[in-house]
Amino acid sequence: MSQYPNPADLLAHRPPFLFCDEITELEPGVSCTALWHLTGNETFFAGHFPGRPTLPGVLIVEALAQTAGLAALSSEDFEGKLPLFGGIDKARFRRQVVPGDTLTLTAKLGRMSRMAGKATGTASVSGETACQVEMMFVIADAADL
């Protein structure tokens, strides 16, 4: 059993849109590393693309945002909050991600305030970078949604 919380204990996301399966490293308010195990049974693979299933890049970026959310929401400063996308910058995709891959998601928080924050993220498969991105988010009260 992991020493880290279940991602669903911190994030408001639920399947089929909860992409972080497990947390492997966590420094609350600073950084998080999580895994997404792609089985091939995910519905998007059937249409993206028939005969050559490939994880959509936008879902990689969302998974990285969820990982950044885990880093933020594990801090007492952001308990009861909901980070919402505010922007995506410098997204670069370096390799395809396919069924059977395990995506290692690493996010590091940058400047943070009560209202907004920045993060960087890297997704990789077996040590090979699949995506790098800079993200901005706004902090909302979860109870207001």
Span 124-133, pLDDT tens digits: 999 999 999 9
Whether the CB-CB separation of 7 and 23 falls below 8 Å is answered with yes
48 is catalytic: yes
DSSP H or E stretch at residue 136: strand 128-141
In this prediction, residue 145 has a pLDDT band, given cuts at 50, 70 and 90, of low
Beginning with the edge strand found earlier in the chain, give each strand of the sheet holding 31-37 in spatial order: 22-27, 31-37, 102-112, 116-125, 128-141, 81-93
From 18, 22, 24, 48, the catalytic residue = 48
Q: Beta 102-112 vs 31-37: how paired, if at all?
A: antiparallel
Domains of the chain: 7-144 (3.10.129.10)
- Please give the Cα distance from 88 to 110 (Å, whole number): 14
Distance linking the first and last C-alpha atoms of the chain: 33
Whether the predicted pLDDT of 143 surpasses 90: no
Mean pLDDT for the stretch of residues 90-98: 98
Average pLDDT, the chain: 95
Can you give the pLDDT at residue 2? 72
Q: Over the stretch 51-82, which tens digit does the pLDDT of each residue have?
A: 999 999 999 999 999 999 999 999 999 988 99
Alpha carbons 76 and 62: distance in angstroms, whole number? 23
What pLDDT score does 144 carry?
61
pLDDT > 60? residue 7: yes
**pTM of the predicted model as reported, rounded to 2 decimal places:** 0.96
